[in-house]
């Protein structure tokens, strides 16, 4: 189990951890917990900086911490998907664009809006944002596991490596972790977060299956970014209503 957790940390972060001979699919059981740890760390960064800097600066630096800590893994997926999935493009053209390391106009726009939404959401939440960050980082990682299990792998990259060996038990345990962590937000807010996340997972599966016959690692990353934005916006709406 320790090696599996190390494998999850190794894949989802830039920490120099060597997990040894452990499969990516096996490590996926701890994806939500690693996401929660990232959220808690970002909250610590935010709370520390908020003592010294205005809230907007503390918020954007907390987002910067998350991007650096994860190596921009999911942001890269979002940019590739935004550039590749244009109307009328064939699957072959989509795959070719996703393999291209350059970022196009739509990819840059997607990244800009993703960062702006997360920044402004965190800024609006203010100091009591620890639970919001924990849940908003855990549920996207849960979504990666669930989507990988219910969708067909496409291509031969990380998405295929994760989806091919992912067992039902690993998926169920990861999903249970995501549900438990979402409950930190309270029953009604947790229900909203989980329902929205499930809806985004299902829509992503349907869309990617229709366009390219399955999901790639970029598709998983883009879905994770959408779930993260949704979660933070849901916390902001809940705070505005209460």
Looking at residue 201, its pLDDT comes to 98
Q: Which residues touch 56 (CB under 8 Å, ≥6 apart)?
A: 119, 123
Residue ranges of the chain with pLDDT lower than 70? 19-20, 127-128
Q: b/e per residue, 135-147, with b = 16+ CB within 10 A? A: bbbbbbbbbbbbb
pLDDT of 25 reads 80
- The reported pLDDT for the residue numbered 138 is 98
In the chain, domain spans: 2-241
pLDDT digits (tens, 9 = 90+) for 102-145: 888 999 999 999 999 999 999 999 766 899 999 999 999 999 99
Look at residue 19 in the predicted model and tell me its pLDDT.
64
Helix (H, G, I), strand (E, B) or coil at 128: coil
What is the per-residue pLDDT for 1? 75
User: What distances in angstroms separate CA 12 from CA 36, 104, 169, 184, one per listed residue?
Assistant: 12, 25, 21, 22
188's tokens: 């009604």
pLDDT of residue 46: 94
């Amino acid at each position: 189990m320790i090696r599996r957790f190390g494998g999850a940390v190794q894949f989802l972060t830039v920490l120099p951890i060597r997990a040894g001979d452990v499969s990516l699919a096996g490590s996926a059981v701890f994806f939500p917990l690693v996401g929660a740890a990232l959220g808690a760390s970002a909250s610590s960064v935010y709370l520390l900086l908020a003592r010294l800097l205005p809230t907007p600066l503390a918020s954007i630096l907390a987002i910067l911490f998350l991007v650096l800590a994860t190596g921009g893994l999911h942001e890269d997926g979002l940019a590739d998907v935004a550039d590749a999935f244009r109307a009328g493009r064939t699957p072959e053209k989509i795959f070719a664009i996703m393999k291209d390391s350059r970022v196009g106009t739509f990819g840059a726009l997607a990244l800009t809006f993703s960062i702006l939404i997360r920044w402004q959401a965190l800024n609006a939440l203010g100091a009591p944002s620890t639970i919001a960050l924990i849940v908003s980082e855990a549920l996207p990682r849960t979504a990666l596991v669930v989507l990988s299990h219910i969708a067909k792998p496409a291509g031969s990259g990380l998405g295929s490596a994760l989806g091919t060996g992912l067992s039902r038990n690993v998926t169920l345990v990861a999903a249970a972790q995501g549900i438990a962590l979402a409950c930190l937000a309270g029953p009604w807010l947790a229900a909203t977060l989980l329902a929205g996340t499930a809806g985004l997972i299902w829509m992503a599966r349907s869309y990617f299956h229709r366009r390219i016959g399955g999901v790639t690692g970029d598709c998983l990353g883009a879905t994770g970014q959408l779930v993260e934005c949704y979660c933070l916006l849901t916390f902001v709406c809940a705070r505005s209503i209460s």
